[in-house]
Amino acid sequence: MHLLTALTTGAAPATGPESAPALAAADSVDTVDTPTGRAAALSAAITSGQAELTRQQQEETRLRQEIDRRVRLATAAESAGDPAAYRGGRLGRPLAGRLTSRFGNRFDPYYHVWQLHAGIDIAAPTGTPILAAAGGRVTRAGWYGGYGNYTCIDHGRADGQRLSTCYGHQSRLLVSPGQRVRAGQVIGLVGSTGASTGPHLHFEVRLGGRPVDPSRWI
């Protein structure tokens, strides 16, 4: 514009400081509006996007690690607050006696149908003491249908899941819901209550609420 004005008016083109921004802007536009300039701009944008993606991934990793750390701390605090909690390893045997029925599908001698036997049966005389297989908190102690007098104990976590043991057909219950028990503590007496054909202990191990083979734990 200054050059055009100068040509039409005969004045010299402006070369002062006020003309520098316009000339610099023109140079910048000319530089970008070329194949090389466009490629450079695109490359810069890609680099910036990759850097942002990397930052977000690192932040996500950091958050996951923090969550895992807090879960570990909470689990450790829960166990530390309960001196009787399960510490890993094998469970104790709830009583001495003869194994009369294993875990798995079987023909039920009481109901006369094929169905899952969710524990093992250990024969013993009525009144034989039943021992807690590990320390923990009693979650159930009372009559429970075919199980008769039935006790369940929560032992905390094993392999990331809640571990519990249950004891059926007792003649007498010696613990109450909410009570803390130690490993080897007497929790009840052998009987034949519920759907039972004779005095024995029906013993279950449950992991995440699902029955598993007790013979792999004791």
**What is the phi/psi pair of residue 68, to 5°?**
-60, -40
pLDDT band of 27, cuts 50, 70, 90? low
> What is the pTM assigned to this prediction?
0.61
What is the model's pLDDT at position 102? 94
What is the model's pLDDT at position 1? 46
Domain containing 6 equals 2-31
Three-state DSSP state, 194: coil
Q: Quick one: tokens of 120?
A: 């093992």
Q: What is the pLDDT of residues 108-129, one digit of tens each?
A: 887 788 888 999 999 999 999 9
Query: Mean of the pLDDT values across residues 67-81?
Result: 55
Say if residue 43 is in the same domain as residue 24.
no
Say if residue 18 is in the same domain as residue 108.
no
Domains identified in the chain, total number: 3
CATH number at residue 200: 2.70.70.10
Say if residue 130 is in the same domain as residue 199.
yes
Q: Is the dihedral of CA 6, 9, 10, 11 positive or negative?
A: negative
